[in-house]
Chain A
Amino acid sequence: MLLLIPLFPLAGFLVNACFGRRLPKSVSGGVACAAMVGAFTVAVLSVLSMMRSADGALQQDVFTWFASGTLQVPFSLRLDHLSSVMILVITGIGSLIHIYSTRYMHDESDAEFARYFSYLNLFAAFMLVLVLGANFPVMFVGWEGVGLCSYLLIGFWFRKKSAADAGKKAFIVNRIGDFGFILGMLLVFATFGTLDFQQVAAAADARAVEHGVFGVITIATLLLFLGATGKSAQIPLYVWLPDAMEGPTPVSALIHAATMVTAGVYMIGRNAVLFSHAPTTLAVVAGIGAATALFAGTIGLVQNDIKRVLAYSTVSQLGYMFLAMGVGAFAAGIFHLYTHAFFKALLFLGSGAVIHALAGEQDLRNMGGLKKDLPITYWTFLIGALAIAGVPLLAGFFSKDEILYRTFTASNSGHVLLWAIGAVTSLLTAIYMFRLVFLAFHGVRRHDAPAAPAHPEEEEPAAHHAAPAAARAHGADSHGPGAHHHVHDAPPSMAIPLIVLAIGSIFAGYVGVPHALGGVNRIERFLEPSFEVSEAARERQNGAGRVADRGAQPIQTASPQETRSADQGGGDENHGSAELLLMAISSGIALAGIGIAAYFWLRNRPAADRLARSMAGPYGLLSNKYYIDELYDAAVVQPIKLFSTGGLWKGMDAGIVDGAVNGVGLAVQAGSGGLRRVQTGSVRTYAAALFVGVVVILGFYLWR
């Protein structure tokens, strides 16, 4: 049954990959959507049966993937509460995005259309494997697989160099993360002798929490976290995600907002027990998360590409999730992941609708006043923006608040600072989101306006997007319809996903209404078992557990559950008011942010320009994304290239190594040329040589 979930999209992929070129769009799109809907159906059924099952999890060992010595890697799928949230998000939102795509991509040729859907289906399959995988290697299959699909989809318009580059960049940056992931996996195996999540958790649970100790679990989790930073676009490996916006917008929605990028968060949640045994790592996770959130938020403030704004927003929100994970609020992190999937997918799809309507225009400066033309898009987009900004009673409010609250009450050192960063980020989020809304939908249309001449520094790397659409129409691979025409609102197949997601963005949060508001935080309770060592695994561990018997039992076996319940116990009574206060603050922040945005970009737009001019330095820094890409290029990429070409290839390889080889040859030749000169041709030389031989031999004998 579990296997069916990824098999559906896989089948869809195979059909489209093998026969797609010959199928009409309706068939290939239909197949892909059917596969996703089928997967969604099976996923719902699976979740229901999981809920009914005794130990709250379903496991399916498909076959032994590979085995060597004591290493056994079964291809096992496991559905528990955590993964059930994920598969529902993936299949559900995935289905919507598939449907949306049938219209969005309709201008492609049949073959390209089928290719698109085959990739998309393949992505879904891998993502489901990632989520369902019961051990590290199977998860890694999905992990790398989604990376591959991301690569393919980002580079879908392969004729565009920037798209191909972005795809490559995404894959390679992900690979850097995977490097950490692999090493983490290896260290886990070397330490615990197993790669099964359950067993690892059980084995880790039997160890002391590494408080203040840079122990093996800390190293392993840090390595795994490196993997997570790659996949989830955190500092220092976030650079690929903004570039990934070169891909089709639905792809950005599905992969680069709702699902794949959250894999890192999911992975940490999956290994919650392991991570909670490494406080150092958690601190790092929290720090990185917070830093990324702030950092990306600031950049998002000044971007002019609609999708890039959303991309930085995603990075920022992912930072939130990591912040949650880092403070041990795993459920809150996953909760935010879940709500974020709705509203970020919505925002992306909405931006897609805008782009679609504007024939590929992505530059905010060329938009404006779209409210009238695109009412559905506008309203749904607005809901998304409100949700992400954390306006009360929408989805984002609950999850974001939960995170901020957890951070504030966390035991991490510097938790207040983390909270403050989170709060600032929250403000930034509101500002840039509504900047987006106001710029795109309000005011008047400026679609033929040239890029602001007063601000040459605003020439982004992706400036070609800002180029007049007419010029781009010549490009054979322009993905929009060729010329300007009537701006139309989203057609039904695009509108329906928007509407569904909008509804989700409003109501998705109500599964996690906090106690302070009289809710029961159902999601947290639902997820809890996944962050603990399951009883079955614990028993297995103890049964085989010579480890637990060896030496003194760890002084403190801190399962996250304990910490959390301790928190919670107090939270209900002592911190209830604190939580309400915090909630109020953040609500205020969200509204303030909206207000600020409204002032600058709705009321007094010149003020924004003035501000930008007066703070040209910081503005330039931000709009150039802190020059991180340039820094990486100058500090890493170019030196390696130069070193490889000049140092290794031309110098070392051709010069020294091969030089030595050929040198031997040349030396022999030179020796040969020299020695042959002795052969003068004169018989007397020959006789002399002979004679020398005689004299030397006799001398040798007589000398002794």
Chain B
Amino acid sequence: MLSVIVFLPLVGAVLVLLAGGGGDRHDRAPAVRTLALAVSLATFLATLLLWWRFDGTSADYQFVERHAWIPAFGIQYLVGVDGISLLLVVLTAFLTPLALLSSWDSVHKNVKMFSFFVLALETSMLGVFVSIDLFLFYIFWDFVLIPMYFLIGIWGYERRVYAAVKFILYTMAGSVLMLIAIIGLAYAHGAATGTPSFNLLDLYSVHLPWRTEMWFFLAFALAFLIKVPLFPFHTWLPDAHVEAPTAGSIILAGVMLKMGTYGLLRFAFPLFPSAAMYFAPWIAVLAVVGIIYGALVAMVQPDMKKLVAYSSVSHLGFVVLGLCAMNVQGAQGAVYQMLNHGVSTGGLFMIVGMLSDRRHTRLISEFGGLKGVMPRLVAAFLLITLASIALPGMNGFVGEFLILLGAFLWNTKLAAFAASGVILSAVYMLWMFQRVNYGNVTNAKNRALPDLTPREWTMMVPTIAMCIAMGVLPGVFLRPIEPSVKRTIERVTGRSYGASARPQPPLLATLTSPRPDAQPAPPAPDARTARPGRPIQHPRPAGRERASSE
């Protein structure tokens, strides 16, 4: 089942190659497009089936497939989904057809190869999310770069080559260190049990010396944080986004950035709990800086795509913050926010793509007064904008609220700073929205732009429907996430002594004089804040103590 889902797009990609004939044949383009779309839709339907058959109450991996691959090194073809990855898989399959649609009219250059790369990209992204074997994961992880590189480099805008090269080198530079850490981890397992293993579930139980754990964590975290991208590792993103074709931007923002946060949650944190606990505050600080920084920089961007790109930096900062909080609300909210951001930012890029298809520019100053010209498109734009600024009732709110709640329960100050992102997101999005859509039509070129075409309707309707559905009925999505998130948190915090002694929220600690007042009333907001029976310790990760006693 899973393998079928993962490799169906690849098979489709090969079929596309065959169907496209030799060279760049324009007469075959419609057939190629249709075929690619059909394949991606079939994949999407398959993922829906997967969701349908998924047992949302279990935290275990489901639909597991296991084949020996390189037995000498304990490498397996081992795939499965749990609550965390399930919806990301669905998201990937959901966005790919939209991405294909978004480039329906704007890509003319070698449609065959374009479709090929998009489908290959889908396979690799799906592979990233379903891999349980770290080696397999890394292969997919790295392979993702290749199709994306070509998508940006061939079908992008003016500075596409620079952006593509920067994209691939930057993200590769981060991930190669992770490769070393993966290998080191596998051998650590080998040293402990006699056989190296790349199976994630085996590796969860590996105990590392503090220094090793720290370095490995940093290697993993760097790879993921670059991908996220967390401030200050984000500069590849604006370039990549701005230069990528619409489909590339949609997938890049919609799915690929999530690979980073997914990796943090799935790999970096549970594999190295002590180090994760030790570094989480620092990462969270970066995340909060990123939230504000991304928003402020987004505010002053003259280019819509760049603006949305920086907004991604800001939004993903929320996700990372939620992960760093490592409590149920934070982590669940983070996972949810990954989905939200995928849909809403995907939608934003679709809109920007539509505008730039019409006008061949993305500069905000080139637009103005579009609402009078294209009311439907602007209405869609507005809805997506609202989803992006986390209006309650749209998807973004639930995620951001949970994240802020989780963060708040963990560290009040950070959450307070992060919450200012709520203001700033409204500032930059609405300002952009206003400059583009309101006012008089000042630029004659904008006077006669066509409104949404049927093709664009078919892109926008599902996207907006998802935005609203995820805002109104988040339970449907949150429920399967919860068991897996909880288990992950147990892995991270249960094993680390630091968990029970998370620092008291400083704001409360300093501002409330009678201490009992500050104690949360039962039911305790989160199992993590106070675990009965655990002595409160100095909030220092155990590993440090281990290291210092050596």
* Residue among A175, A190, A191 with max Cβ neighbours from chain B (10 Å): A190
CA distance A207 to B327 in the complex (A): 27
Report A-chain residues with C-beta under 8 Å of the C-beta of B511. 214-216, 219
Report A-chain residues with C-beta under 8 Å of the C-beta of B523. 70, 193, 544
Q: How far is the CB of B509 from chain A (nearest CB, A)?
A: 11
CA distance A550 to B518 in the complex (A): 13
Pair B422/A175 contact, Cβ less than 8 Å: yes
Report A-chain residues with C-beta under 8 Å of the C-beta of B21. none
Q: Is B30 an interface residue (CB 8 A)?
A: no
Q: Is A657 an interface residue (CB 8 A)?
A: yes
Q: Is A528 an interface residue (CB 8 A)?
A: no
Q: Is A145 an interface residue (CB 8 A)?
A: yes
Pair A158/B437 contact, Cβ less than 8 Å: yes
Pair B439/A189 contact, Cβ less than 8 Å: no
Pair B520/A190 contact, Cβ less than 8 Å: yes
Report A-chain residues with C-beta under 8 Å of the C-beta of B397. 144
Per-position binary interface string of chain B over residues 306-340, scored 1 when its CB falls under 8 Å from any chain A CB and 0 otherwise: 00000000000000000000011100110000000
Task: Pick the contact of B415: A69, A70, A186, A640 (CB < 8 A).
Answer: A186
Report B-chain residues with C-beta under 8 Å of the C-beta of A160. 439
Q: How far is the CB of B208 from chain A (nearest CB, A)?
A: 29
Pair B526/A70 contact, Cβ less than 8 Å: yes
Q: How far is the CB of A214 from chain B (nearest CB, A)?
A: 6
How many chain-B residues does the 8 Å CB contact rule pick out? Answer: 76
Q: Is A680 an interface residue (CB 8 A)?
A: no
Task: Pick the contact of B332: A68, A172, A178 (CB < 8 A).
Answer: A68
Near A by CB (< 8 A), chain B positions 515-549 give 516-518, 520-527
CA distance A274 to B508 in the complex (A): 18
Pair B297/A649 contact, Cβ less than 8 Å: yes
Pair A64/B405 contact, Cβ less than 8 Å: no
Pair A641/B299 contact, Cβ less than 8 Å: yes
Given contacts A172-B427, A661-B236, contact A183 B416 (CB under 8 A): yes
Given contacts A68-B402, A182-B422, contact A648 B525 (CB under 8 A): no
Q: Is A540 an interface residue (CB 8 A)?
A: no
Report A-chain residues with C-beta under 8 Å of the C-beta of B516. 550-551
- State which of B34-42, B109-117, B367-375 sits at the interface with chain A: B367-375
Pair B434/A165 contact, Cβ less than 8 Å: yes
Task: Pick the contact of A179: B422, B437, B507, B518 (CB < 8 A).
Answer: B422
Near B by CB (< 8 A), chain A positions 54-100 give 63-71
Given contacts A71-B405, A661-B170, contact A172 B426 (CB under 8 A): yes
- State which of B5-13, B93-101, B217-225, B474-482 sits at the interface with chain A: B474-482
CA distance A165 to B430 in the complex (A): 10
Pair B512/A215 contact, Cβ less than 8 Å: yes
Q: Is B392 an interface residue (CB 8 A)?
A: yes
CA distance A141 to B508 in the complex (A): 27
Pair A207/B329 contact, Cβ less than 8 Å: no
Closest to B472 in A: A65
Pair A653/B475 contact, Cβ less than 8 Å: no
Q: How far is the CB of A212 from chain B (nearest CB, A)?
A: 10
Q: Is A627 an interface residue (CB 8 A)?
A: no
Per-position binary interface string of chain A over residues 110-154, scored 1 when its CB falls under 8 Å from any chain B CB and 0 otherwise: 010000000000000000000000000100110111001001000
Report B-chain residues with C-beta under 8 Å of the C-beta of A182. 401, 404, 419, 422
Q: Is A644 an interface residue (CB 8 A)?
A: yes
Q: Is B431 an interface residue (CB 8 A)?
A: yes
CA distance A21 to B451 in the complex (A): 14
Q: Is B462 an interface residue (CB 8 A)?
A: no
Pair A193/B525 contact, Cβ less than 8 Å: yes
Q: Is B440 an interface residue (CB 8 A)?
A: yes
Q: How far is the CB of B330 from chain A (nearest CB, A)?
A: 9
Q: How far is the CB of B532 from chain A (nearest CB, A)?
A: 12
Interface of A is mostly: helix
Closest to A650 in B: B300
Closest to A637 in B: B427
Given contacts A66-B398, A547-B522, contact A641 B300 (CB under 8 A): yes
Pair A190/B505 contact, Cβ less than 8 Å: yes
CA distance A143 to B422 in the complex (A): 14
Closest to B382 in A: A152
Q: Is B513 an interface residue (CB 8 A)?
A: yes
Pair A179/B423 contact, Cβ less than 8 Å: yes
Per-position binary interface string of chain A over residues 182-207, scored 1 when its CB falls under 8 Å from any chain B CB and 0 otherwise: 11001101111100000000010001
Pair B235/A193 contact, Cβ less than 8 Å: no
Q: Is A485 an interface residue (CB 8 A)?
A: no
Q: Is A242 an interface residue (CB 8 A)?
A: no
CA distance A141 to B415 in the complex (A): 20
Q: Is A633 an interface residue (CB 8 A)?
A: no
Pair A140/B392 contact, Cβ less than 8 Å: yes
CA distance A193 to B300 in the complex (A): 40
CA distance A208 to B517 in the complex (A): 9
Pair B234/A171 contact, Cβ less than 8 Å: no
Q: Is A577 an interface residue (CB 8 A)?
A: no
Pair B391/A179 contact, Cβ less than 8 Å: no
Pair A145/B392 contact, Cβ less than 8 Å: yes
Q: Is B356 an interface residue (CB 8 A)?
A: no
CA distance A550 to B515 in the complex (A): 13
Q: Is B438 an interface residue (CB 8 A)?
A: yes
Pair B300/A645 contact, Cβ less than 8 Å: yes
Pair A178/B422 contact, Cβ less than 8 Å: yes
Report A-chain residues with C-beta under 8 Å of the C-beta of B293. 648, 652
Task: Pick the contact of B329: A69, A163, A193, A219 (CB < 8 A).
Answer: A69
Pair A64/B475 contact, Cβ less than 8 Å: yes
Near A by CB (< 8 A), chain B positions 385-414 give 386, 391-393, 397-398, 401-402, 404-405, 408-409, 412
Pair A172/B512 contact, Cβ less than 8 Å: no
Q: Is B207 an interface residue (CB 8 A)?
A: no
Report A-chain residues with C-beta under 8 Å of the C-beta of B438. 155, 158-159, 161, 163-164
Task: Pick the contact of B525: A144, A158, A189 (CB < 8 A).
Answer: A189
* Residue among B166, B170, B392, B513 with max Cβ neighbours from chain A (10 Å): B392
CA distance A656 to B182 in the complex (A): 31
Q: Is A677 an interface residue (CB 8 A)?
A: no
Q: Is A691 an interface residue (CB 8 A)?
A: no
Pair B439/A186 contact, Cβ less than 8 Å: no
Report B-chain residues with C-beta under 8 Å of the C-beta of A538. none
Per-position binary interface string of chain A over residues 374-388, scored 1 when its CB falls under 8 Å from any chain B CB and 0 otherwise: 000000000000000
Pair B369/A144 contact, Cβ less than 8 Å: no
Given contacts A69-B332, A175-B423, contact A191 B391 (CB under 8 A): no
Pair A653/B512 contact, Cβ less than 8 Å: no
Q: How far is the CB of A400 from chain B (nearest CB, A)?
A: 34
Pair A164/B235 contact, Cβ less than 8 Å: no
CA distance A643 to B297 in the complex (A): 9
Given contacts A69-B329, A546-B522, contact A172 B416 (CB under 8 A): no
Report A-chain residues with C-beta under 8 Å of the C-beta of B525. 69-71, 189-190, 193
Report A-chain residues with C-beta under 8 Å of the C-beta of B205. none
Q: Is A176 an interface residue (CB 8 A)?
A: yes
Q: Is A658 an interface residue (CB 8 A)?
A: yes
Given contacts A207-B517, A661-B235, contact A644 B297 (CB under 8 A): yes
Report A-chain residues with C-beta under 8 Å of the C-beta of B431. 168
Report A-chain residues with C-beta under 8 Å of the C-beta of B527. 69-70
Q: Is A476 an interface residue (CB 8 A)?
A: yes
Per-position binary interface string of chain A over residues 396-420, scored 1 when its CB falls under 8 Å from any chain B CB and 0 otherwise: 0000000000000000000000000
Pair B422/A640 contact, Cβ less than 8 Å: no
Pair A68/B235 contact, Cβ less than 8 Å: no
CA distance A551 to B518 in the complex (A): 13
10 contacts between A and B (CB under 8 A): A155-B434, A159-B372, A167-B434, A168-B434, A172-B423, A179-B419, A216-B508, A644-B297, A644-B300, A657-B231
The 10 closest A-B pairs by CB, nearest first: A69-B328, A164-B438, A186-B408, A141-B392, A658-B235, A644-B296, A158-B438, A645-B300, A175-B426, A66-B474
Known: A172-B427, A187-B408. 14 other contacts (CB 8 A): A64-B475, A69-B527, A70-B328, A70-B525, A145-B391, A159-B439, A182-B404, A186-B419, A189-B408, A193-B523, A215-B514, A649-B296, A657-B234, A661-B166
